[in-house]
Amino acid sequence: MSKQYVILNYENLEVSKRRDDPKLAEAYWGAWMAYVEAINEAGIVRGGEGLDYPSTATTVTLKNGKQVVQDGPFADTKEQLAGFFIIEVPNLDVALEWAARNPASANGKVEVRPVLPKPTHDS
């Protein structure tokens, strides 16, 4: 039986900015397109997207029952969440193999997390 995992791609902002640099964009996108092609050809992708820069984020929290909106991401870190894939594979070992092939693993971090199963209700 297969299980779904989320592969979270974290990149250093300098690495992410390569996608907009005319001299570096081809190599940056080439690595990502090769990974996307391989993971799609494996037939395991269930969803995923790349994300815009953290500066475009908006964070919402509740304080004393009131909405507080903050421009930017919640965490100020070196690495940024740059995108994600949802894959369906037999086990964690296979998910980790795909994470190791992810371009973000070379210059950032790749987090693998099981998707929480939907609760089942007995009638």
Q: For the domain covering 3-114, report its CATH number.
A: 3.30.70.1060
Spatial distance between the Cα atoms of 96 and 28, rounded to a whole number of angstroms: 22
Tell me whether strands 109-114 and 45-50 are parallel, antiparallel or unpaired: unpaired
Spatial distance between the Cα atoms of 115 and 123, rounded to a whole number of angstroms: 24
What is each CA distance from 54 to 32, 76, 92, in whole angstroms?
A: 19, 9, 29
**What pTM, to 2 d.p., does this model score?**
0.84
Three-state DSSP at 50 gives: strand
User: Does residue 85 contact residue 48 with C-beta atoms inside 8 Å?
Assistant: yes
pLDDT in tens, the chain (123 residues): 899 999 999 998 899 999 999 999 999 999 999 999 999 999 999 999 999 988 888 888 889 999 989 887 666 667 788 999 999 999 999 999 999 999 999 988 999 999 998 888 765
